[in-house]
Structure 1
Amino acid sequence: MSYSWDNRVDFVVRYMYDIDNNGYLDQNDFQCMAVRACVVEGKGDCSAARIAEYQKLMKNLWDEISEIADDDKDGKISNAEFKEAVRKTCVGKKYDEFPQAMRAFIEANFKILDINSDGIVGVEEYRYNCITRIAIDDVSPIDKAFESLLNDEDRKRGGLSLDRYKELYSQFLGNTADNHPAVNLFGPL
Protein backbone atom coordinates (compact mmCIF):
# COMPACT_ATOMS: atom_id res chain seq x y z
CA MET A 1 0.00 0.00 0.00
CA SER A 2 2.19 2.83 -1.26
CA TYR A 3 -0.24 5.51 -0.04
CA SER A 4 -0.36 4.41 3.60
CA TRP A 5 0.35 7.07 6.21
CA ASP A 6 3.67 5.38 7.08
CA ASN A 7 4.80 5.47 3.46
CA ARG A 8 3.70 9.09 3.05
CA VAL A 9 5.73 10.17 6.08
CA ASP A 10 8.67 8.06 4.84
CA PHE A 11 8.41 9.94 1.54
CA VAL A 12 8.52 13.34 3.27
CA VAL A 13 11.63 12.32 5.20
CA ARG A 14 13.44 10.73 2.28
CA TYR A 15 12.59 13.08 -0.56
CA MET A 16 11.91 16.41 1.13
CA TYR A 17 13.92 16.61 4.36
CA ASP A 18 16.87 14.19 4.16
CA ILE A 19 18.65 16.30 1.55
CA ASP A 20 22.06 14.69 2.04
CA ASN A 21 20.53 11.18 1.90
CA ASN A 22 22.33 9.88 4.98
CA GLY A 23 19.23 8.18 6.41
CA TYR A 24 18.45 10.62 9.20
CA LEU A 25 17.61 14.28 9.64
CA ASP A 26 20.10 16.72 11.08
CA GLN A 27 20.81 20.43 11.00
CA ASN A 28 22.81 20.09 7.76
CA ASP A 29 19.69 18.89 5.92
CA PHE A 30 17.87 22.07 6.92
CA GLN A 31 20.78 24.30 5.89
CA CYS A 32 20.76 22.55 2.50
CA MET A 33 16.98 23.05 2.24
CA ALA A 34 17.49 26.78 2.79
CA VAL A 35 19.89 27.00 -0.15
CA ARG A 36 17.68 24.81 -2.35
CA ALA A 37 14.57 26.84 -1.57
CA CYS A 38 16.33 30.15 -2.22
CA VAL A 39 17.78 29.03 -5.55
CA VAL A 40 14.60 27.33 -6.79
CA GLU A 41 12.24 30.11 -5.74
CA GLY A 42 14.64 32.70 -7.17
CA LYS A 43 14.94 30.68 -10.40
CA GLY A 44 18.70 30.66 -9.95
CA ASP A 45 19.02 33.95 -8.10
CA CYS A 46 19.87 33.69 -4.41
CA SER A 47 20.36 37.12 -2.88
CA ALA A 48 21.99 37.51 0.52
CA ALA A 49 18.75 38.86 1.99
CA ARG A 50 16.66 35.98 0.62
CA ILE A 51 19.10 33.27 1.72
CA ALA A 52 19.15 34.83 5.20
CA GLU A 53 15.34 34.57 5.33
CA TYR A 54 15.44 30.93 4.28
CA GLN A 55 18.25 30.13 6.71
CA LYS A 56 16.21 31.62 9.55
CA LEU A 57 13.09 29.72 8.45
CA MET A 58 14.94 26.40 8.20
CA LYS A 59 16.81 26.94 11.48
CA ASN A 60 13.47 27.55 13.19
CA LEU A 61 12.03 24.46 11.54
CA TRP A 62 15.02 22.36 12.60
CA ASP A 63 14.84 23.70 16.17
CA GLU A 64 11.12 22.96 16.39
CA ILE A 65 11.35 19.51 14.81
CA SER A 66 14.36 18.51 16.90
CA GLU A 67 12.62 19.68 20.08
CA ILE A 68 9.60 17.53 19.22
CA ALA A 69 11.32 14.56 17.58
CA ASP A 70 14.92 14.12 18.76
CA ASP A 71 14.04 11.92 21.72
CA ASP A 72 17.61 10.89 22.53
CA LYS A 73 18.98 14.44 21.91
CA ASP A 74 21.80 13.19 19.68
CA GLY A 75 21.33 15.88 17.03
CA LYS A 76 19.88 13.33 14.62
CA ILE A 77 16.27 12.46 13.97
CA SER A 78 15.59 8.92 12.84
CA ASN A 79 12.66 8.06 10.65
CA ALA A 80 10.92 6.46 13.64
CA GLU A 81 11.43 9.59 15.76
CA PHE A 82 10.09 11.80 12.96
CA LYS A 83 7.01 9.61 12.48
CA GLU A 84 6.19 9.74 16.15
CA ALA A 85 6.54 13.53 16.16
CA VAL A 86 4.24 13.82 13.13
CA ARG A 87 1.78 11.48 14.82
CA LYS A 88 1.76 13.67 17.96
CA THR A 89 1.65 17.07 16.23
CA CYS A 90 -0.24 16.51 12.96
CA VAL A 91 -2.47 13.42 12.95
CA GLY A 92 -6.09 14.37 13.31
CA LYS A 93 -5.28 18.09 13.27
CA LYS A 94 -6.10 20.91 10.93
CA TYR A 95 -3.40 22.99 9.29
CA ASP A 96 -3.69 25.83 11.81
CA GLU A 97 -2.91 23.35 14.61
CA PHE A 98 0.40 22.24 13.05
CA PRO A 99 3.62 23.54 14.64
CA GLN A 100 4.35 27.10 13.47
CA ALA A 101 7.69 26.31 11.82
CA MET A 102 6.12 23.44 9.87
CA ARG A 103 3.41 25.77 8.60
CA ALA A 104 6.11 28.24 7.52
CA PHE A 105 7.93 25.44 5.68
CA ILE A 106 4.73 24.38 3.92
CA GLU A 107 4.03 27.93 2.81
CA ALA A 108 7.61 28.35 1.58
CA ASN A 109 7.31 25.05 -0.27
CA PHE A 110 4.24 26.38 -2.08
CA LYS A 111 6.28 29.37 -3.30
CA ILE A 112 8.84 26.95 -4.72
CA LEU A 113 6.11 24.98 -6.51
CA ASP A 114 4.54 28.15 -7.93
CA ILE A 115 7.23 28.66 -10.55
CA ASN A 116 5.48 31.54 -12.34
CA SER A 117 4.50 33.21 -9.02
CA ASP A 118 0.84 33.61 -9.99
CA GLY A 119 -0.50 32.18 -6.72
CA ILE A 120 -1.70 28.96 -8.36
CA VAL A 121 0.13 25.65 -8.83
CA GLY A 122 -0.99 24.33 -12.20
CA VAL A 123 -0.36 20.98 -13.79
CA GLU A 124 2.91 22.04 -15.45
CA GLU A 125 4.37 23.24 -12.13
CA TYR A 126 3.12 20.10 -10.39
CA ARG A 127 4.75 17.91 -13.06
CA TYR A 128 8.03 19.75 -12.71
CA ASN A 129 8.02 19.30 -8.95
CA CYS A 130 7.17 15.60 -9.16
CA ILE A 131 9.89 14.69 -11.65
CA THR A 132 12.55 16.24 -9.42
CA ARG A 133 11.90 13.48 -6.87
CA ILE A 134 10.60 10.42 -8.69
CA ALA A 135 11.76 8.39 -11.66
CA ILE A 136 8.88 8.05 -14.07
CA ASP A 137 8.69 7.03 -17.72
CA ASP A 138 5.21 8.42 -18.49
CA VAL A 139 3.70 11.75 -17.48
CA SER A 140 0.11 10.44 -17.40
CA PRO A 141 0.29 9.08 -13.80
CA ILE A 142 1.47 12.52 -12.67
CA ASP A 143 -1.39 14.20 -14.51
CA LYS A 144 -3.86 11.72 -13.02
CA ALA A 145 -2.48 12.38 -9.51
CA PHE A 146 -2.83 16.15 -10.05
CA GLU A 147 -6.38 15.81 -11.34
CA SER A 148 -7.32 13.76 -8.25
CA LEU A 149 -6.26 16.67 -6.01
CA LEU A 150 -8.60 19.16 -7.64
CA ASN A 151 -12.04 20.08 -6.44
CA ASP A 152 -14.48 22.15 -8.50
CA GLU A 153 -13.04 25.47 -7.27
CA ASP A 154 -9.50 24.31 -8.09
CA ARG A 155 -10.59 23.42 -11.62
CA LYS A 156 -12.19 26.86 -12.08
CA ARG A 157 -9.01 28.66 -11.04
CA GLY A 158 -6.71 26.29 -12.95
CA GLY A 159 -4.91 24.62 -10.06
CA LEU A 160 -4.12 24.75 -6.36
CA SER A 161 -4.15 27.97 -4.38
CA LEU A 162 -2.04 28.36 -1.26
CA ASP A 163 -5.07 27.76 0.97
CA ARG A 164 -5.97 24.60 -0.91
CA TYR A 165 -2.34 23.42 -0.81
CA LYS A 166 -2.24 23.94 2.97
CA GLU A 167 -5.48 21.97 3.33
CA LEU A 168 -4.12 19.10 1.22
CA TYR A 169 -0.75 19.11 3.00
CA SER A 170 -2.48 18.86 6.39
CA GLN A 171 -4.48 15.90 5.09
CA PHE A 172 -1.36 14.29 3.61
CA LEU A 173 0.29 14.25 7.06
CA GLY A 174 -2.70 14.37 9.37
CA ASN A 175 -5.13 11.87 7.85
CA THR A 176 -4.05 8.26 8.40
CA ALA A 177 -6.47 6.87 5.78
CA ASP A 178 -4.89 5.88 2.49
CA ASN A 179 -7.79 6.62 0.15
CA HIS A 180 -8.21 10.41 0.08
CA PRO A 181 -7.07 12.82 -2.66
CA ALA A 182 -4.28 14.38 -0.58
CA VAL A 183 -2.23 11.17 -0.83
CA ASN A 184 -1.31 12.42 -4.32
CA LEU A 185 0.03 15.80 -3.17
CA PHE A 186 3.58 14.92 -4.22
CA GLY A 187 2.66 12.76 -7.19
CA PRO A 188 2.38 9.03 -7.56
CA LEU A 189 4.43 7.55 -4.72
Structure 2
Amino acid sequence: MAYSWDNRVDFVVRYMYDIDNNGYLDSNDFQCMALRACVVEGKGDCSRIAEYQKVMKNLWDEISEIADDDKDGKISNGEFKDAVRKTCVGKKYEEFPKAMKAFIEANFKILDIDSDGVVGINEFRYNCITRIPTDDIAPIDKAFESLLNDEDKKRGGLTLDRYKELYAQFLGNTADNHPAVNLFGPL
Protein backbone atom coordinates (compact mmCIF):
# COMPACT_ATOMS: atom_id res chain seq x y z
CA MET A 1 0.00 0.00 0.00
CA ALA A 2 2.79 2.46 0.86
CA TYR A 3 4.17 2.23 -2.67
CA SER A 4 0.86 2.24 -4.54
CA TRP A 5 0.55 4.64 -7.45
CA ASP A 6 -1.94 6.78 -5.49
CA ASN A 7 0.47 7.12 -2.57
CA ARG A 8 3.37 7.94 -4.87
CA VAL A 9 1.43 10.75 -6.54
CA ASP A 10 0.24 11.96 -3.11
CA PHE A 11 3.90 12.07 -2.07
CA VAL A 12 4.88 14.18 -5.09
CA VAL A 13 2.11 16.67 -4.35
CA ARG A 14 2.69 16.86 -0.60
CA TYR A 15 6.48 16.79 -0.40
CA MET A 16 7.64 18.21 -3.71
CA TYR A 17 5.00 20.62 -5.04
CA ASP A 18 2.86 21.84 -2.13
CA ILE A 19 5.71 23.89 -0.65
CA ASP A 20 3.49 26.04 1.55
CA ASN A 21 1.61 22.96 2.84
CA ASN A 22 -1.87 24.42 2.35
CA GLY A 23 -3.29 21.23 0.82
CA TYR A 24 -3.43 22.32 -2.81
CA LEU A 25 -1.13 23.56 -5.54
CA ASP A 26 -1.14 27.18 -6.66
CA SER A 27 1.22 29.69 -8.24
CA ASN A 28 2.76 30.52 -4.83
CA ASP A 29 4.08 26.96 -4.51
CA PHE A 30 5.90 27.30 -7.81
CA GLN A 31 7.41 30.66 -6.92
CA CYS A 32 8.63 29.11 -3.65
CA MET A 33 10.14 26.25 -5.67
CA ALA A 34 11.88 28.81 -7.88
CA LEU A 35 13.56 30.42 -4.90
CA ARG A 36 14.47 27.08 -3.34
CA ALA A 37 15.97 25.78 -6.59
CA CYS A 38 17.93 29.01 -7.10
CA VAL A 39 19.36 29.00 -3.58
CA VAL A 40 20.16 25.27 -3.55
CA GLU A 41 21.69 25.10 -7.02
CA GLY A 42 23.52 28.39 -6.47
CA LYS A 43 24.69 27.20 -3.05
CA GLY A 44 23.28 30.37 -1.51
CA ASP A 45 23.73 32.68 -4.50
CA CYS A 46 20.40 33.84 -5.84
CA SER A 47 21.51 36.14 -8.65
CA ARG A 48 19.69 33.98 -11.23
CA ILE A 49 16.27 34.16 -9.52
CA ALA A 50 14.52 35.69 -12.56
CA GLU A 51 15.54 32.68 -14.65
CA TYR A 52 14.19 30.25 -12.05
CA GLN A 53 10.98 32.25 -11.64
CA LYS A 54 10.37 32.10 -15.39
CA VAL A 55 10.87 28.32 -15.50
CA MET A 56 8.54 27.76 -12.55
CA LYS A 57 5.90 30.17 -13.89
CA ASN A 58 5.91 28.22 -17.15
CA LEU A 59 5.64 24.97 -15.17
CA TRP A 60 2.70 26.33 -13.17
CA ASP A 61 0.98 27.62 -16.33
CA GLU A 62 1.30 24.24 -18.06
CA ILE A 63 0.30 22.19 -15.03
CA SER A 64 -2.68 24.43 -14.30
CA GLU A 65 -3.79 24.17 -17.94
CA ILE A 66 -3.67 20.37 -17.69
CA ALA A 67 -4.92 19.90 -14.13
CA ASP A 68 -7.00 22.87 -12.91
CA ASP A 69 -10.31 21.53 -14.16
CA ASP A 70 -12.49 24.12 -12.42
CA LYS A 71 -10.07 26.99 -13.27
CA ASP A 72 -10.06 28.33 -9.69
CA GLY A 73 -6.28 28.87 -9.59
CA LYS A 74 -5.84 25.88 -7.27
CA ILE A 75 -5.08 22.29 -8.11
CA SER A 76 -6.47 19.76 -5.68
CA ASN A 77 -4.78 16.43 -5.11
CA GLY A 78 -7.57 14.76 -7.10
CA GLU A 79 -7.14 17.12 -10.04
CA PHE A 80 -3.39 16.51 -10.01
CA LYS A 81 -3.84 12.74 -9.95
CA ASP A 82 -6.27 12.89 -12.86
CA ALA A 83 -3.78 14.97 -14.85
CA VAL A 84 -0.89 12.59 -14.08
CA ARG A 85 -3.10 9.65 -15.02
CA LYS A 86 -3.90 11.27 -18.39
CA THR A 87 -0.43 12.56 -19.23
CA CYS A 88 2.03 10.14 -17.60
CA VAL A 89 0.60 6.67 -16.90
CA GLY A 90 1.87 4.16 -19.41
CA LYS A 91 4.12 6.72 -21.09
CA LYS A 92 7.85 7.12 -21.48
CA TYR A 93 9.65 10.20 -20.25
CA GLU A 94 9.79 11.71 -23.74
CA GLU A 95 5.97 11.70 -23.84
CA PHE A 96 5.54 13.65 -20.58
CA PRO A 97 4.36 17.27 -20.74
CA LYS A 98 7.18 19.74 -21.41
CA ALA A 99 6.79 21.48 -18.06
CA MET A 100 6.83 18.19 -16.13
CA LYS A 101 10.11 17.30 -17.84
CA ALA A 102 11.53 20.72 -16.95
CA PHE A 103 10.59 20.17 -13.30
CA ILE A 104 12.16 16.70 -13.26
CA GLU A 105 15.39 18.00 -14.78
CA ALA A 106 15.49 20.93 -12.34
CA ASN A 107 14.89 18.52 -9.47
CA PHE A 108 17.88 16.45 -10.56
CA LYS A 109 20.07 19.56 -10.42
CA ILE A 110 18.94 20.14 -6.84
CA LEU A 111 19.75 16.53 -5.94
CA ASP A 112 23.19 16.70 -7.57
CA ILE A 113 24.70 18.84 -4.81
CA ASP A 114 28.28 18.62 -6.07
CA SER A 115 27.21 19.18 -9.71
CA ASP A 116 29.21 16.21 -11.00
CA GLY A 117 26.32 14.80 -13.05
CA VAL A 118 25.75 11.83 -10.73
CA VAL A 119 23.51 11.59 -7.67
CA GLY A 120 25.38 9.37 -5.25
CA ILE A 121 24.37 7.84 -1.94
CA ASN A 122 25.24 10.90 0.16
CA GLU A 123 23.22 13.23 -2.05
CA PHE A 124 20.30 10.79 -2.05
CA ARG A 125 20.45 10.54 1.75
CA TYR A 126 20.52 14.31 2.11
CA ASN A 127 17.52 14.75 -0.15
CA CYS A 128 15.49 12.06 1.60
CA ILE A 129 16.23 13.23 5.12
CA THR A 130 15.11 16.78 4.33
CA ARG A 131 11.62 15.51 3.42
CA ILE A 132 10.87 12.47 5.55
CA PRO A 133 11.30 11.88 9.27
CA THR A 134 13.36 8.81 10.00
CA ASP A 135 15.59 7.56 12.79
CA ASP A 136 17.46 4.99 10.70
CA ILE A 137 19.56 5.53 7.57
CA ALA A 138 19.38 1.85 6.52
CA PRO A 139 15.97 2.09 4.76
CA ILE A 140 17.21 5.10 2.79
CA ASP A 141 20.36 3.26 1.75
CA LYS A 142 18.29 0.20 0.81
CA ALA A 143 15.99 2.37 -1.32
CA PHE A 144 18.99 3.89 -3.12
CA GLU A 145 20.59 0.49 -3.79
CA SER A 146 17.32 -0.82 -5.22
CA LEU A 147 17.37 1.94 -7.86
CA LEU A 148 20.79 1.09 -9.21
CA ASN A 149 21.41 -1.08 -12.25
CA ASP A 150 24.89 -2.42 -13.07
CA GLU A 151 25.92 0.76 -14.93
CA ASP A 152 24.70 2.94 -12.06
CA LYS A 153 26.75 0.88 -9.62
CA LYS A 154 29.88 1.31 -11.76
CA ARG A 155 29.51 5.09 -11.85
CA GLY A 156 28.43 5.36 -8.22
CA GLY A 157 24.90 6.65 -8.68
CA LEU A 158 22.23 8.01 -10.97
CA THR A 159 22.82 10.19 -14.03
CA LEU A 160 20.19 12.60 -15.32
CA ASP A 161 19.12 10.15 -18.03
CA ARG A 162 18.71 7.34 -15.51
CA TYR A 163 16.87 9.67 -13.12
CA LYS A 164 14.46 10.67 -15.91
CA GLU A 165 13.82 7.00 -16.70
CA LEU A 166 13.13 6.21 -13.04
CA TYR A 167 10.94 9.28 -12.56
CA ALA A 168 8.85 8.25 -15.58
CA GLN A 169 8.38 4.83 -14.01
CA PHE A 170 7.60 6.37 -10.60
CA LEU A 171 4.66 8.30 -12.09
CA GLY A 172 3.85 6.23 -15.15
CA ASN A 173 3.94 2.64 -13.89
CA THR A 174 0.95 1.86 -11.66
CA ALA A 175 2.47 -1.33 -10.24
CA ASP A 176 3.80 -1.07 -6.70
CA ASN A 177 6.67 -3.54 -6.93
CA HIS A 178 9.24 -2.01 -9.29
CA PRO A 179 12.52 -0.33 -8.24
CA ALA A 180 11.40 3.20 -9.21
CA VAL A 181 8.94 3.26 -6.30
CA ASN A 182 12.02 4.00 -4.18
CA LEU A 183 13.09 7.10 -6.14
CA PHE A 184 12.43 9.38 -3.19
CA GLY A 185 13.41 6.93 -0.48
CA PRO A 186 11.07 5.05 1.82
CA LEU A 187 7.57 6.51 1.59
TM-score computed with the length of structure 1 as normaliser: 0.98
Aligned partners of 2:54, 2:138: CA distance in 1, in Å?
38
CA deviations on 1:35-64 (whole Å, 9 max, x unpaired) are 0010111111111xx211111110011000
Give the structure 1 partner of residue 66 of structure 2: 68
CA deviations on 1:49-101 (whole Å, 9 max, x unpaired) are x2111111100110000000000000000000000000000000000000001
Aligned partners of 1:156, 1:52: CA distance in 2, in Å?
38
Partner letter of residue 137 of structure 2? Answer: V
Q: Structure 2 matches for 1:1-189, cutoff 5 A? A: 1-47=1-47, 50-189=48-187
Partner letter of residue 75 of structure 2? Answer: I
Offset at 1:30? 0.3
Tell me the secondary structure at the aligned position of residue 115 of structure 1.
Answer: coil
In the alignment of these two chains, the number of paired residues is: 187
Aligned partners of 1:76, 1:13: CA distance in 2, in Å?
13
Partner letter of residue 113 of structure 1? Answer: L
Q: Which aligned segments of 4 or more residues in structure 1 are displaced greater than 6 angstroms?
A: none
Offset at 1:33? 0.4
Offset at 1:145? 0.2
Q: 5+ unaligned residues in a row in structure 1: which ranges? A: none
